[in-house]
Amino acid sequence: MEVQAWDLIVIEQQLFEPEQSVPFGEAMWRHADKATRARILSLAESYTKIDGFFALTVVPRYSRVDPADLYEKLGSMFLRVESRRSDQQAQLAILKLTDPSRNLTGYVALCPGRFDGVWLLMTGMKRSGDNYVHLVEPVLQLMASRAPGAWLPTTDMQEVLYELEERMHLSLTPGRVISSNRERSSIEYMKKRRSLAEVFAELKERELVLRSLDFTASSTGSRIALAAGIDKWMRLKYRSGSHVPFDEYLVSTVESRLRQHVRNLDVRREDALAGKPIVFRFSRDVLTDRLRNQELVNTLASSPSVSVCAFHMNPYLHLAMVDYSDGSNMDIFADDPATLAVIPGKRCSVAAVSRAFNRVYAHFASGHIADLELVSMGGDTDSI
């Protein structure tokens, strides 16, 4: 029988065992004082063996303050939030969330990541279910100004998955693939075995953006070494197999990417104040005419707690944007159809810039934060 490297890793003994009659979240809550990151993941692995539909969702966020305190403060505006702290791992908290009006209850773990400022929200609630939709999503949206997330362009997601293959010494077999372009979204279930390279080649050929991908890694004898998923918002899903490669190889890589995303914005904010803007480069030419420029303005203006003023619309774009969630302000310029330049105000937060780019990425067009470069802001004007 083939033995993988992670099979040789000695996992600390579980101090709480799964019970079929006790849901995963309740098991975490009952034994919160003994919880650690490793024990929660080990418990999740045990539940995948007794419940074929169980999956652990992992949502990375960046916060300079304890997100459990933040979650409790913001969530308490419309939920009942109770918390229990671990005696075994500093700052790890298990939260019990209740919405009495909808008769909903759920549990989340908020766990420190491998890097300062990086945190993981872990839950057994399904993201499409009412519990997650009403107990988690609204609070994460409220937390966005102080605990932002990030995104993975298709090329970055490809790099993350190729790195996982290399570190596991196994090929990943794509299962469900969700992609989109401006006209439509598509969900494909791989009925025949295809490699990652084939899937990404087709996405590139069809000019599609990868939204999420579920995959399986099997070792000799068709034994599932890992079944998991990843989406463009860095959200991860663990479905079965060993939790060790999931955590050590996949979660750790995404944590590193999130930290780098925030660091890039933080450093570039200082350069932007000196005249070098933060540049978002689209994957193709999108700001091609006044109508497309107006569409971008509408996209940004539809963000919650934001106001946008357009000074110029064509042939170049100049906007002023204020984010009332933390009082940030920034100027946004574009004189090239494939780039967007942001110059933050002196008191503009990294989270506000990240939210603006997130909005553009999610609702207008895909792209990435480019290397620092000077962007021309001249041109003929056509005032709105």
Per-residue pLDDT of 124-171, as tens digits, reads 999 999 999 999 999 998 888 788 888 888 889 999 999 999 999 999
Sheet holding 224-231, edge to edge: 80-85, 93-99, 104-112, 118-123, 56-62, 236-241, 224-231, 209-218, 172-180, 185-189
Q: Given pLDDT bands bounded at 50, 70 and 90, which one contains residue 265?
A: confident
Answer for the pair 174, 196: CB distance below 8 angstroms, yes or no: yes
Question: Helix, strand or coil for residue 162?
Answer: helix
Q: Would the pLDDT of 226 be above 50?
A: yes
Contact 200, 174 (CB under 8 A): no
What percent of the chain is predicted at pLDDT more than 90? 58
Quick one: which of 334, 328, 331 has its CA closest to 342?
Answer: 331
Integer-rounded Cα radius of gyration of the chain: 22
Judge whether residue 21 has pLDDT over 80.
no
Q: State the Cα–Cα distance between residues 132 and 123, nearest whole angstrom.
A: 9
Mean pLDDT over all residues of the chain? Answer: 86
Q: What sign for the dihedral angle of Cα 36, 41, 47, 49? A: negative
Query: Could you tell me which residues come within 8 angstroms of residue 166 by beta carbon, excluding any fewer than 6 positions away?
Result: none
Give residue for tokens 């303050």: 65
Place 229 in a pLDDT band, splitting at 50, 70 and 90: very high
Domains and CATH numbers, the chain: 5-143 (3.30.310), 154-232 (no CATH), 275-369 (3.30.160.690)
- Hunting for tokens 């025949």 — which residue is that? 192
pLDDT above 70 coverage of the chain, percent: 86
Whether the CA torsion 80, 85, 86, 87 is positive or negative: it is negative
Taking the model in full, what pTM does it have? 0.82
